Copies of this chain bind each other. A is one copy, B any other.
Amino acid sequence: MAKRIIVVGSGAAGMTAASSARGADRDAEIIVITAEEHISYSPCAIPFVLEGKIKDFSSIIMHDPEFYRRERGIDVRTRTTVTSVDVDKKAVTTNDGSSLPYDSLIIATGGTVFVPPIEGSTLPGVFRVRFIQDGMDVQKALPSARSVVVAGAGVIGLEIAVALRHAGKDVTVVEMFPQVIPRICDQDMAKEVQTYMEGLGIRFVMSTPMGAIKGNGKVESVFAGVTEIPCDMVIMATGVRANLEIPTAMGLEIGPLGAVRVSATLQPYRKGRLVRDVYLAGDVVMCESAAVPGPTMSQLGATAVRQGRVAGLNAAGGYATFPPVLSAWISQIGDVQVGGTGLSRGLADYYGVNVVEGRATGLTRARYYPGGKKLMVKLIADRETHRLLGGQIVAGEEVTGRINWLTAAIMKGVTAEEFVSSFENAYCPPTSMVKDVVNVAAEDLVQRLR
């Protein structure tokens, strides 16, 4: 008899898991259960629709449920929620009252924006940008807004701030930490991004927690510390928390970082034992760091896709493991790209690792070749072993491949010295400097490790 695989959640992790299970088992019955109406879209693209770079929200929806039914034999049940999971009887109950037994279950319930419990956080005019419907709501409200406060200076907050600034709004970013992109980006690199954004006319209120949101029936102002900022729209970009309702109800073990602890096969634990036939993928999962021993969060679209593949293969009876992560990330903030991988200085401090930093600034093309953009590279290595542990890059172009390059080197335990002596860079005047800025930063790092 055909196996039944149930996937809870229709984000990148859930839909990749369903497709990956289908690839491994032609006969399985595969059911995706989701509270959402739209599936298979890219939430990372929402700021760029608001900015007008992408035409409309329908562009970022790859496929509809009918596509999955027709092309992949996957039954996607939208606007449906799971009300309970019986791990012993291996069955899922949904809000329409049906009870669905499963052979394998994949939990990909993702995360939601954490909205701090402050006064006025439910007033009309307060938005978050997580689901496509959120984006549509912001877009609809935008014409009547003049002043916007973005709470949170993580990459999503910054992308939205730029989008709304380009749409002609008065934009203020309020951030609790003293720098933008806290935690994953260091102050020296973050400063570049903030300075660029200030040049666009975006205001920053740093080191200040978001206080109350005030208004009579709708948003009229925000308190950032003791300062009142008049505004007609607030975007909460205050970070993503794993959706733990279902995992908690199932009795799954929650890790120290507030997400589900899983094995390398992406199976959860319950009462100290691995739960059979249950797999997790995406923002709901706690990962292991590949830079240092220890847990980490990796709530990225690319991670969701890679975990979805592993969960889907395993749910279909195959065997795959999900390795520790460096969580390579990148963001496009107006004309500036900023990206990183592995440990930032801040994360190194968190893990108690003694690190040394190397830096270089150059261009994306030969000095004499017109159109080259400024390229800043920072590398971080373990002071004792000299192994590369992290890197950050800010430039006008060509950041992605360089971040992936560093990610490969860190993943393979390369030392700063080995990077300098063995790691070649492809060179042509219109595409790079003869010695790439990444290599120059590695040379600086070697000097500082002496």
* Chain A residues proximal to chain B, CB less than 8 Å: 12, 42, 44-45, 48, 53-55, 59-60, 62, 290, 300-303, 305-306, 320-323, 325-332, 337, 339, 341, 366-370, 397-405, 407-409, 411-412, 414, 421-432, 434-436, 438
A305 to B435, Cβ gap below 8 A? Answer: yes
Closest chain-B Cβ to A338's Cβ sits at a distance in Å of: 10
A424 to B369, Cβ gap below 8 A? Answer: no
CA distance A326 to B425 in the complex (A): 10
Q: Which residue of B lies closest to A48 (CB)?
A: B429
A45 to B329, Cβ gap below 8 A? Answer: no
CB contact between A44 and one of B321, B341, B408, B428 (< 8 Å): that residue: B428
**Considering residues A301, A303, A341, which has the most beta carbons from chain B within 10 angstroms of its beta carbon?**
A301
Q: Which residues on the B side are within 8 Å of A321 (C-beta)?
A: 421
Q: Which residue of B lies closest to A403 (CB)?
A: B426
Closest chain-B Cβ to A360's Cβ sits at a distance in Å of: 15
Q: Which residues on the B side are within 8 Å of A425 (C-beta)?
A: 302, 328, 400, 404, 407
CA distance A323 to B419 in the complex (A): 11
Report, nearest first, the 8 A-B pairs whose CB atoms are least far apart.
A401-B401, A330-B426, A332-B430, A412-B412, A401-B402, A328-B426, A405-B405, A302-B427
Closest chain-B Cβ to A101's Cβ sits at a distance in Å of: 31
**Extra inter-chain contacts (14) besides given A54-B429, A328-B425, A341-B426, CB under 8 Å:** A42-B366, A42-B429, A42-B434, A321-B421, A329-B427, A331-B428, A339-B426, A399-B426, A400-B426, A401-B402, A401-B404, A405-B407, A405-B408, A407-B426
CB contact between A323 and one of B325, B332, B404, B422 (< 8 Å): that residue: B422
Closest chain-B Cβ to A125's Cβ sits at a distance in Å of: 27
If A42-B429, A429-B44, A431-B399 touch, whether A54 touches B368 (CB-CB below 8 Å) is yes
If A424-B303, A424-B327 touch, whether A404 touches B434 (CB-CB below 8 Å) is no
Closest chain-B Cβ to A294's Cβ sits at a distance in Å of: 18
A302 to B426, Cβ gap below 8 A? Answer: yes
B366 to A45, Cβ gap below 8 A? Answer: yes
Q: Which residues on the B side are within 8 Å of A330 (C-beta)?
A: 426-428, 431-432
Q: Which residue of B lies closest to A431 (CB)?
A: B400
CA distance A427 to B321 in the complex (A): 21
Closest chain-B Cβ to A169's Cβ sits at a distance in Å of: 20
Q: Which residue of B lies closest to A303 (CB)?
A: B424
CA distance A341 to B401 in the complex (A): 14
Q: Which residues on the B side are within 8 Å of A421 (C-beta)?
A: 320-323
B423 to A329, Cβ gap below 8 A? Answer: no
B400 to A432, Cβ gap below 8 A? Answer: yes
Closest chain-B Cβ to A396's Cβ sits at a distance in Å of: 12
Q: Which residues on the B side are within 8 Å of A400 (C-beta)?
A: 398, 401-402, 425-426, 428, 431-432, 436
Q: Which residues on the B side are within 8 Å of A305 (C-beta)?
A: 434-435
CA distance A398 to B396 in the complex (A): 12
If A48-B430, A302-B427, A368-B54 touch, whether A438 touches B404 (CB-CB below 8 Å) is yes
If A305-B435, A368-B60 touch, whether A423 touches B408 (CB-CB below 8 Å) is yes
CA distance A368 to B429 in the complex (A): 31
Q: Which residues on the B side are within 8 Å of A424 (C-beta)?
A: 302-303, 306, 325-328, 341, 404, 407, 411
Closest chain-B Cβ to A93's Cβ sits at a distance in Å of: 32
A-B contact pairs, 14 of them (CB 8 A): A45-B368, A45-B429, A53-B369, A54-B369, A54-B370, A59-B368, A60-B368, A302-B425, A306-B435, A330-B432, A401-B405, A405-B407, A405-B408, A412-B412
Closest chain-B Cβ to A163's Cβ sits at a distance in Å of: 12
Q: Which residues on the B side are within 8 Å of A397 (C-beta)?
A: 397-398
Closest chain-B Cβ to A344's Cβ sits at a distance in Å of: 14
CB contact between A422 and one of B403, B411, B426, B435 (< 8 Å): that residue: B411
Q: Which residue of B lies closest to A419 (CB)?
A: B408
Closest chain-B Cβ to A193's Cβ sits at a distance in Å of: 14
CA distance A12 to B429 in the complex (A): 14
